Amino acid sequence: MLDERDRKILEILQADAGTSVTELADRVALSVSACSRRIQRLEESGHIVRRIVVLDREKMGVPTTVYAMIKTAHHADEWIEAFRKAIGDIPEIVEAHRLTGNYDYILKIVLPRVEHYDVIYKQLVRKVELFDVSASISMEELKGGASVPVGYVQ
pLDDT per residue rounded down to tens, the chain (154 residues): 899 999 999 999 999 999 999 999 999 999 999 999 999 999 999 999 999 888 999 999 999 999 999 999 999 999 999 999 999 999 999 999 999 999 999 999 999 999 999 999 999 999 999 999 999 999 999 998 878 999 898 8
CATH for 57-137 is 3.30.70.920
User: CB of 68 within 8 A of CB of 122?
Assistant: no
Assign a CATH topology to domain 4-44: Arc Repressor Mutant, subunit A (1.10.10)
- Cα angle 141, 61, 105 (rounded to 5 degrees) comes to 55
Q: What is the pLDDT of residue 124?
A: 97
Q: What is the CA radius of gyration of the chain?
A: 20
Parse the chain into domains and list their residue ranges: 4-44, 57-137
∠ Cα 106 111 114 (to 5°):
90
CA–CA dist 44, 46 (Å, integer): 5
What is the pTM for the complete model shown?
0.88
Beta bridge partners of 68: 107, 135
